[in-house]
C-alpha cells in the first residue's frame, strides 16, 4: 500500500489517495472542492491535482470515500467521479444526518434522505477491496452520527475523530454529536496495534510548524492532549464539552452541509439557469 497525501491550506484539509501498487487501483478519501464564500464561487484546483496524479501514474480509481459529512469544507466527490470514476461511499450513519439537515435546508425535492445519492452505504464492520488491499469500515460516531473510520491494511483513516496529538480530538457540539460516543469510538482505535498508522483529515499548524498528516495509535495513546490511554470517560466528557463552549461556528458550515449531502454538488439550476445555496437564518 502507498498513500499519497494532498494538503489544502485554505481549509487545513488532507486528501489521501490509497494505492495498491500491485494492481494500480486506488481510492480517494476526503476530497476538497475549493470554495470562495465571499465571492460565492468554486474552483477545482485541489481536485484537479488529485486527478492529475491519478492519470499521470496510470491508476484506476475504485472508490471516492467520505469519512462523514464535513462542516468545514466542500467535497469534490461529484467532480472526481466525472473525471476518474469510482464508487462514492459513506457509512450508513449518513441517513441520520440527512433526516436532520435536509428539512432544515428545505431540500427534500433534490436531496434524498435515503442516501441513494451515494453509490454505497457501508454497514459497520463491512469489508471491501481496493485492488488487493484489505479494507474495512467501522462506524465511529461522536463528532457526527455519520462518522466512520476506514481501516486499510496497517492504517486507519479517521476523518475528524482524532487530530494530531497536540490538537486532541473532534468537537462534539454539532447536532447529533456526543462526547460519550466519541470516547467509545476512539477506544476502538486504541485497541489496534500501537504501530497502526493514523491518517488525519485536518491539521492547523502554527507559522513555524509543518502540517501533520499521519501519526500512530501508540503516539495518540501516549500524547493526545484530550484523550490518552488512561483518560477516563468522565474526564474526557468534561474536558471536551468545556472546550466546545469556546469554539466558533465553522465558517463554511452552511454551504458545506447542504452540498456535501449531495456529494459536493450545488444542486440543480433554477429556471434562470443559476444555482443557489440556502442560508437558514437564526438556526445555528
Q: What is the pLDDT of residues 188-231, one digit of tens each?
A: 999 999 999 999 999 999 888 899 999 999 999 999 999 999 99
Q: At residue 120, does pLDDT exceed 90?
A: yes
DSSP per position, the chain: -EEEEEEETTTTEEEEEEEETTTTEEEEES--BEEETTTTEEE-HHHHHHHHHHHHTT-EEEEEE-SS--SSSB--HHHHHHHH--EEEEETTHHHHHHHHTTTTT-TTTS-TT-TTSSEEEPTT-EEEETTEEEEEEE--SSSTT-EEEEETTEEE-TTSB--TTT-B----STT--HHHHHHHHHHHHTS-TT-EEE-SB----TT-PPP-EEEHHHHHHH-SS--TT--HHHHHHHHHHHHTTPPPPTTHHHHHHHHTTTT------TTS-------SS--
pLDDT of res. 283 = 85
Pick the CATH number of 2-260 from 3.60.15.10, 3.40.50.1220, 1.10.287.110, 2.102.10.10: 3.60.15.10
pLDDT in tens, 227-251: 999 999 999 999 999 999 999 999 9
- Mean local confidence (pLDDT), 53-62: 98
Report the alpha-carbon distance of residue 206 to residue 185 in Å, rounded: 28
What is the pTM assigned to this prediction? Answer: 0.97
pLDDT of res. 206 = 87
Find the radius of gyration of the CA atoms of the chain: 18
pLDDT in tens, 247-267: 999 999 999 999 999 999 999
Report the alpha-carbon distance of residue 173 to residue 143 in Å, rounded: 8
Amino acid at each position: 500500500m502507498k498513500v499519497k497525501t494532498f494538503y489544502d491550506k485554505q481549509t487545513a484539509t488532507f486528501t489521501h489517495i490509497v494505492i495498491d501498487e500491485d494492481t494500480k487501483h486506488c481510492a480517494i478519501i476526503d476530497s476538497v472542492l475549493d470554495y470562495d464564500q465571499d465571492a460565492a464561487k468554486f474552483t477545482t484546483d485541489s481536485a484537479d491535482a488529485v486527478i492529475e496524479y491519478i492519470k499521470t501514474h496510470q491508476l484506476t480509481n475504485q472508490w471516492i470515500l467520505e469519512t462523514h459529512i464535513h462542516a468545514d469544507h466542500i467535497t469534490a466527490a461529484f467532480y472526481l467521479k466525472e473525471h476518474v470514476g469510482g464508487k462514492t461511499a459513506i457509512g450508513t450513519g449518513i441517513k441520520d444526518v440527512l433526516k436532520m439537515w435536509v428539512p432544515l435546508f428545505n431540500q427534500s425535492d433534490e436531496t434524498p434522505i435515503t442516501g441513494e445519492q451515494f453509490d454505497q452505504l457501508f454497514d459497520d464492520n463491512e469489508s471491501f477491496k481496493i485492488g488487493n488491499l484489505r479494507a474495512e469500515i467501522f462506524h465511529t460516531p461522536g463528532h457526527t452520527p455519520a462518522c466512520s473510520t476506514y481501516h486499510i491494511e496497517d492504517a486507519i483513516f479517521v476523518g475528524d475523530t482524532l487530530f494530531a496529538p497536540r490538537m486532541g480530538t473532534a468537537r462534539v457540539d454539532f447536532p447529533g454529536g456526543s462526547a460519550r460516543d466519541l470516547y467509545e469510538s476512539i477506544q476502538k482505535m486504541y485497541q489496534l496495534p500501537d504501530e497502526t498508522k493514523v491518517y488525519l483529515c485536518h491539521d492547523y499548524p502554527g507559522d513555524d510548524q509543518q502540517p501533520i498528516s499521519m501519526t500512530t495509535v501508540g503516539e495518540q495513546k501516549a500524547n493526545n492532549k484530550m484523550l490518552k490511554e488512561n483518560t477516563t470517560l468522565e474526564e474526557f466528557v468534561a474536558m471536551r464539552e468545556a472546550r466546545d463552549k469556546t469554539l466558533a461556528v465553522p465558517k463554511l458550515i452552511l454551504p458545506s452541509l447542504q452540498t456535501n449531502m449531495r456529494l459536493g454538488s450545488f444542486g440543480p439550476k433554477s429556471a434562470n439557469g443559476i444555482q443557489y445555496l440556502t442560508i437558514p437564518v437564526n438556526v445555528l
